[in-house]
Amino acid sequence: MRLKSKTAIVTGAGSGIGEAIARKFAAEGASVVVNDISDHGERVAFEIAQAGGTALFAKADIREEPGVKELMEAAKRRFGALHILVCNAGVTHSSNVVAADDAAWDYVMNSNLKTAWYCCKHAIPVMLEQGEAALSAFPRPIRRERRRTIFRITPPRQG
């Protein structure tokens, strides 16, 4: 059990890739906070517990900062720590650039980028205080450089 004694938050864990990540982490021994905007995450947390794992369902709209703060607090309250953050929540919108309007753009950016930013913004201080962390939120890893946290929110160049 590679993740024994670790606590992980997985956003967008009510279905798809997030659900698979939450289940795998639990199978590896992590206590998992299953986050989703819908009630589907409750089923995932229940099934993890039925299989012998430890999980907490935390329904929250992480497009809004208060929801993210409550998510981090729920993890600390229930499990006492936060070691792993997987920012998996996201949406797609089928349109081309010319036809898309501002509302569609804002919906995708708020759901895919702002959620990751809010989660990192509130998880990193907790993790640094503990002295250990693992983040999966951006295409390139976060690194420390001259007392600044550096991250990229754009895909790496190919080639």
pLDDT digits (tens, 9 = 90+) for 130-143: 877 776 654 444 44
Residue % of the chain over a pLDDT of 70: 83
Report DSSP state, residue 139.
Answer: S
> Is 116 buried (19+), middle (13-18) or exposed (0-12) by CB count in 10 A?
buried
Angle between helix 65-79 and helix 115-130 axes, rounded to 10 deg: 30
Query: How confident is the model at residue 137, as a pLDDT?
Result: 58
Question: Which phi-psi region, left, alpha or beta, contains residue 156 (left: φ > 0; alpha: ψ -120 to 50)?
Answer: beta
- Contact 148/155 with Cβ under 8 angstroms? no
- Strand residue runs (E) in 5-151: 7-10, 31-36, 54-59, 84-86, 134-136, 143-145, 148-150
pLDDT tens across 81-111, in order?
999 999 999 888 877 788 889 998 899 899 9
By residue count, the chain amounts to 159
CA 144 from chain centre, in angstroms, equals 20
| Beta-sheet pairing, 31-36 with 7-10 | parallel
* Selection from 72, 79, 97 nearest residue 32 by Cα: 79
155, pLDDT greater than 80: no
Q: Which residue has the higher pLDDT, 70 or 156?
A: 70
Percent of the chain with pLDDT over 90: 66
39 DSSP 8-state letter: T
